[in-house]
Amino acid sequence: MKELLIANFCVPGIMSYCTAGNRWEDQKHCRFSRKGSVANRCMYFRESLGGHCDCVDAQKDIQGF
């Protein structure tokens, strides 16, 4: 049986960012990921902001809140 890696790819900083990259195939392994309805990527991934992670729950989780 193959075990999938489920993680939080959001990394905190001044503006948290996603380290999974810009492909849904990689992003879908994040436990906070949600498939975008208009693009083949996570709805929380902001490519125009350098890969910013726009998921508040992921940001809180990685900071321990």
pTM over 0.85: no
CA atoms within 13 A on the CB side of 18: 31
Query: How would residue 5 be classed by pLDDT, with cut points 50, 70 and 90?
Result: low
Domain assignment present for residue 51? The answer is yes
Question: Based on the number of CB atoms within 10 Å of its own CB, is 61 exposed (0-12), middle (13-18) or buried (19 or more)?
Answer: middle
Q: What pLDDT sits at residue 61?
A: 94
Contact 58, 44 (CB under 8 A): yes
Domain assignment present for residue 1? The answer is no
- d(CA 60, CA 47) in angstroms, rounded, equals 21
* Boundaries of domain holding 37: 10-63
Residue 2 has pLDDT above 60, yes or no: no
Write down the residue that tokens 């309805």 correspond to: 37
Domain assignment present for residue 49? The answer is yes
Question: Tens digits of per-residue pLDDT, 8-56?
Answer: 999 998 889 999 999 999 999 999 999 999 999 999 999 999 999 999 9
Q: What pLDDT sits at residue 13?
A: 87
